[in-house]
Amino acid sequence: MSGRATRREPGRLRTGCVIRFPYLWVREAERGETEGRKPRPVAVGVRIARPKGEDLLVLFPITSRPPYSDRFAVEIPEMEKRRAGLDASLRLWIILDEYNQDVIGQSFYLEPEPPLGHFSKAFFLPLMKEFIARRASTRGVNRQR
């Protein structure tokens, strides 16, 4: 995909911001794929501080495809789509039962562009609390190399 991204200002990547990222779905990783098929909007769910500023990011995909009823997913309200820099005319969902992990400063996938926007704390923090409560039943793909 692209070379290591080192120019992105690390402070911009905080909980609730939305960026473009070549998300690798768990089902694709299970089939042996190693690269996301296209850059898509993702929400930075959690940023975990690590030594030397190489913080761990947990990223949740945003999709226009309606999720199956057994998925942990939330439709994004119109106002939140606008705040996040997403197309408010589309129905969009944030998928919360799977995620990608990547590390700032070591990533081959994080690009230097600023975030598209940010979800409000009132919308996003309850989702993160629910994610933490359901953590044992979620699945992730580690994008670190």
Comparing C-alpha atoms, which of 26, 66, 10, 20 is closest to residue 43? 20
- Which pLDDT does position 7 carry in this prediction? 43
Rounded mean pLDDT, 1-14:
53
Domain count, the chain: 1
Q: Is residue 145 part of a domain?
A: no
Longest dimension (CA), the chain: 41
pLDDT in tens, 119-132: 999 999 999 999 99
pLDDT in tens, 14-53: 899 999 999 999 999 999 999 999 999 999 998 888 877 7
Q: Is residue 100 part of a domain?
A: yes
- Which pLDDT does position 74 carry in this prediction? 97
Mean pLDDT over the full length of the chain:
89
66: CATH: 2.30.30.110
Q: Is residue 4 part of a domain?
A: no
The whole domain housing 119 covers: 10-140
| CA distances from residue 80 to 12, 74, 76, 91 in whole angstroms, order as listed | 18, 12, 6, 12
Q: Is residue 57 part of a domain?
A: yes
Query: How far is Cα 37 from Cα 6, in angstroms, rounded to an integer?
Result: 22
Q: Is residue 3 part of a domain?
A: no
Q: Is residue 106 part of a domain?
A: yes
